[in-house]
Amino acid sequence: QEDSKETTEHPANKTVLCPEKPAELVGFVNTNLTDVSLSTVEAKYPAIQKGGNYQPNDCQAREKLALILPCRNRTAHLNILLNNLLKILIKQKLDFTVFVIDQEFPTTFNRGMLFNVGYLEALKRDDYDCFIFHDVDMIPTNDFCLYKCTHNPRHFLSGVSKWHYGLPYKGYFGGVVAFTREQYQKINGDSNLYFGWGGEDDDLRARILNKGYSMLRYPKFIGRYDTMSHKRDSGNQANPARFTLVSKAKERQDEEGLNTTIYKVTEVVEAKLYTKIKVFINMTQ
Ligand code: UD2
């Protein structure tokens, strides 16, 4: 019988292992891209504990997920994402913590380095198994899109509204990606060298392929995301060095990345729905 696998007794706490695909999941869900205040979202989720941690109360989650959201000056998008995503994560019966990683001005935005900071800071707080790095403007439209890790890194976007639910190119690896702790460690994380817009996602993909992983994706109707249009942010201008950097991604991989991430935490806020970690990073990496 299908369910018998899912209800194995969990020895540690005498509860049952959560189903991989809970019966509450329905497939397509309506996204709500309208502005919402943080207090409105907070009021919807009393079961989420301070710092943004949630655990299902009727079963033992299969892994501990750290959701890493790089976010500077994008509060409106962050609130919209939380308003849409949290209910999906809860329905999927996940044990998760939301980390918002913010970067101090004036340094140019560095998305890849904020991933590394999120990974390192999350592991100082708990023993996470799975890390999902998530742009704040990517909204899943299907709750079968399971926020979990597997034997290879996963790219969650199979189609995005702004590209008519397609992708800009086949090897595209931007937006939302998942790694186990071991996978991220093995690839030496992201590069820290991409200040400004572009290239860091291609570099990350080169790193996974170079270490023998392949990129997983859900079928198109599952990895379908809506997005909000926005102007290029100040402090995140296109990075002209990105093409040269990407061309040397594999050569640099072991010497530069997670093992060379230097930053200074300037503020930690344990909000109701997330732990916000603000960092200062230096441009002379
Ligand atoms: C694309 C990729 C993105 C990344 C970027 C190049 C998609 C779906 N995504 O995004 O993954 O590779 O190109 O760097 O196309 N952010 C801030 N504050 C800023 C700037 C960026 O919080 O000032 C964060 C935020 O989470 C945002 C993400 O970084 O969603 C990506 O930046 P973007 O939205 O400006 O770039 P975009 O949409 O071209």
Both tokens of 45, joined, read 């989720």
Q: Report the distance separating Cα 205 and Cα 173, nearest Å.
A: 6
Q: Worst-scoring range by mean pLDDT, 36-45, 81-90, 234-243?
A: 234-243
DSSP state of 231: P
**What distance in angstroms lies between residue 135's CA and the mean position of ligand 1's atoms?**
6
- Contact 221 CB / ligand 1 (< 6 Å): no
- Contact 198 CB / ligand 1 (< 6 Å): yes
Both tokens of 42, joined, read 């907070």
Residue 285 has a pLDDT of 59
Q: What mean pLDDT do residues 54-82 have?
A: 97
Q: Report the distance separating Cα 94 and Cα 128, nearest Å.
A: 12
- How far the first Cα of the chain sits from its last, in Å, is 55
Nearest residue to 116 via CA among 170, 68, 151: 68
Residue 154 has a pLDDT of 98
Residue 112 has a pLDDT of 98
- E strands within the chain? 9-10, 15-16, 53-54, 64-70, 95-103, 130-134, 138-140, 154-155, 159-160, 176-180, 224-227, 264-270, 275-280
- Contact 276 CB / ligand 1 (< 6 Å): no
* Angle between helix 111-125 and 200-210 (nearest 10): 60
Query: Which amino acid appears at position 246 of this protein?
Result: V
- Contact 143 CB / ligand 1 (< 6 Å): no
Question: Which band of pLDDT confidence, cut at 50, 70 and 90, is reported for residue 15?
Answer: confident
Q: 113-148: b or e for each residue (b if 16 or more CB lie within 10 Å)?
A: bbbbbbbebbeeeeebbbbbbbbbbbbbbbbbbbbb
Residue 283 has a pLDDT of 83
Q: For the chain, what is the mean pLDDT?
A: 94
Q: Report the distance separating Cα 274 and Cα 270, nearest Å.
A: 6
**What distance in angstroms lies between residue 127's CA and the mean position of ligand 1's atoms?**
28
- Contact 175 CB / ligand 1 (< 6 Å): yes
Residue 99 has a pLDDT of 99
Q: What is the pLDDT of residues 157-200, one digit of tens each?
A: 999 999 999 999 999 999 999 999 999 999 999 999 999 999 99
**What distance in angstroms lies between residue 202's CA and the mean position of ligand 1's atoms?**
13
Q: What is the pLDDT of residues 104-162, one digit of tens each?
A: 999 999 999 999 999 999 999 999 999 999 999 999 999 999 999 999 999 999 999 99
Q: What mean pLDDT do residues 62-91 have?
A: 98
Which one has a higher pLDDT value, 99 or 230?
Answer: 99
Atom of ligand 1 nearest to the CA of 194: 14
Per-residue pLDDT for 11 more than 50? no
Q: What mean pLDDT do residues 16-27 have?
A: 97
Q: What mean pLDDT do residues 48-69 have?
A: 97
Per-residue pLDDT for 12 more than 60? no
Percent of the chain with pLDDT over 90: 92
Per-residue pLDDT for 56 more than 50? yes
Task: Count Cα atoms within 13 angstroms, Cβ side, for 236.
Answer: 19
Instruction: Answer for the pair 138, 111: CB distance below 8 angstroms, yes or no.
Output: no
Nearest residue to 180 via CA among 259, 64, 93, 95: 64
